Structure 1
């Protein structure tokens, strides 16, 4: 999903993706820029994230824990509550 309109709902996977070490190699987190060496990672906005790095830009809640959707508005990634 590349050209999303402001306020569009963007899907997260229903489950965490398990790293397939040899197949994916080391991927960098879109949030912190550090390599993801954890067993699990999140994919959102066609980018990979540490579970701790994908957070709401307003309330700082971890988006992987609050549901399977995230929202964007004014270049912020938001949870549903803060988007509404």
Structure 2
């Protein structure tokens, strides 16, 4: 019984507060209006045409192909240099 009395004596009253809780937001699984509202004006006005994206991807693919060929050429040149240097060292 003494433990109950001790617990009662330990409780304190908290001071009053001006804090107001924020109302709970409800999920809107199928409502995209909040997404549309937060998008910049430019994006909302113009849908992105898929053809321009495809053209951009094609040009990027061509650039990557060119870079791949340049890299292969550089590797070939470096391998030739290494082989020549190795041969020179063996001849010494």
Please state which band the TM-score falls in when normalised by the shorter chain.
under 0.3
More helix by share: 2
Which structure is higher in strand share?
1
- TM-score by length of structure 1 reads 0.16
